[in-house]
C-alpha cells in the first residue's frame, strides 16, 4: 500500500535538512500502536511491531515548498503551512484504513517552532491506486538508493556506484535477501515467488546523483548513508518487483532510502 499524507504545520517551523530519522521514527511509533488484528498479521509475517523488527516500508522525501534553506545550520525554514510525504508499506491492502487512522492520531514531531518542538498533524491523505506491475519496468528514484558490497582485501562495506560493472549483482542480491527475510527465510522458489531461471536484468537510464544522508541514533548504529538518485529499468519476477516497489529498493529503505515511482516518460 502507498499513502500520500498532507501534514499541517506552523509557518516558520524550522526542520533539519536531514529529516529522515524523524520520519522513520514516526512510522515506527505509528506501527507500535497497531491494533490486535494488524499486530497479529505482522507477527504472522515473522515480525513484531513492539521491537521495530518490521521494516518493510519506505517513504518519499518531504514536499516542503516554499522554504528557505540555511546551509550553515543545515536547516529548512518552512514558509508554508503544509508538507507532503508518501509512505509505502509491504502490507495487505486490507489494512489501509487502519493504517490511516493510526497516522491521523499520531503527530509527527520534527523540528522547532518558536523555540519549542514542532508537530505536524495529518489533515488529508490519498491512497494511491495499486498499479498492475509488469516484469520489466522503468523507475525513477524519489529517495536515494543505497547499495553496498565488500571489496576484496577490505573489511568495510563500500557504497557501489549505479554505473559500476558489479552494481547489478549486489542490486539483485539485496532484493532477494530482503524478500526472503520477509518470507521468513523460506524457499522463494518453493513458494512459487521466484523462478531461479528468470533472466533478471538492470539498466541505468540517467546520470546518478550522489546523496549523503546524516542520521540520528538508530538500532543499526548508522551515522550516515550514501545513496544515489537515478532512473533505471529492471526485469524481475513480478512478486519480487512488487516487494521492492512497496518495501523499497536497496538497503535501509526504512531509513528513507529506496522509494521509487514508475517512470512514465
Nearest to 233 by CA among 260, 204, 199: 204
66-119 tens-digit pLDDT: 999 999 999 999 999 999 999 999 999 999 999 999 999 999 999 999 999 999
Selected from 3.40.50.720, 3.40.190.10, 3.50.50.60, 3.30.70.1900, the CATH number assigned to the domain covering 136-262 reads 3.30.70.1900
Fold of 2-127: Alpha-Beta Plaits (3.30.70)
The pTM score is: 0.94
Q: Across the strands, what pairs with 203?
A: 233
Give buried/exposed letters for 91-100 (b at 16+ CB in 10 A, else e): beeebbeebb
End-to-end, the C-alpha distance of the chain in Å comes to 23
Whether the domain at 2-127 and the domain at 136-262 fall into the same CATH topology: yes
Domain boundaries of the chain, sorted by first residue: 2-127, 136-262
pLDDT digits (tens, 9 = 90+) for 199-227: 999 999 999 999 999 999 887 888 999 99
Amino acid at each position: 500500500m502507498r499513502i500520500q499524507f498532507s501534514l499541517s504545520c506552523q509557518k516558520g517551523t524550522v526542520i533539519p535538512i536531514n529529516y529522515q530519522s524523524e520520519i522513520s521514527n514516526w512510522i515506527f511509533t505509528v506501527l507500535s500502536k497497531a491494533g490486535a488484528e494488524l499486530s497479529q498479521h505482522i507477527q504472522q509475517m515473522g515480525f513484531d511491531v513492539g521491537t521495530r523488527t518490521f521494516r518493510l516500508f519506505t517513504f518519499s522525501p518531504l514536499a516542503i515548498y516554499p522554504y528557505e534553506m540555511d546551509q550553515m545550520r543545515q536547516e529548512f525554514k518552512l514558509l508554508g503551512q503544509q508538507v507532503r510525504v508518501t509512505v509505502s508499506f509491504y502490507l495487505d491492502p486490507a489494512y489501509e484504513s487502519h493504517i490511516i487512522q493510526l497516522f491521523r492520531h499520531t503527530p509527527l514531531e520534527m523540528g522547532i517552532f518558536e523555540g519549542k518542538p514542532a508537530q505536524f498533524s495529518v489533515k488529508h491523505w490519498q491512497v494511491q491506486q495499486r498499479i498492475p506491475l509488469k516484469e520489466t519496468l522503468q523507475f525513477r528514484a524519489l529517495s536515494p538508493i543505497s547499495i553496498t558490497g565488500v571489496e576484496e582485501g577490505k573489511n568495510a562495506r563500500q557504497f557501489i556506484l549505479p554505473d559500476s560493472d558489479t552494481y547489478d549483482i549486489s542490486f539483485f542480491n539485496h532484493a532477494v535477501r530482503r524478500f526472503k527475510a520477509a518470507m521468513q527465510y523460506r524457499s522463494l522458489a518453493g513458494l512459487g515467488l521466484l523462478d531461479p531461471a528468470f533472466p533478471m536484468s538492470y539498466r541505468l537510464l540517467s546520470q546518478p546523483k550522489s546523496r549523503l544522508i546524516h542520521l540520528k541514533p538508530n538500532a543499526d548504529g548508522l551515522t550516515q548513508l550514501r545513496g544515489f538518485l537515478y532512473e533505471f529499468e529492471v526485469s524481475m519476477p513480478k512478486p519480487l518487483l512488487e516487494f521492492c516497489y512497496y518495501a523499497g529498493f536497496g538497503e535501509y529503505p526504512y531509513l528513507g532510502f529506496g522509494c521509487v515511482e514508475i517512470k512514465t516518460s
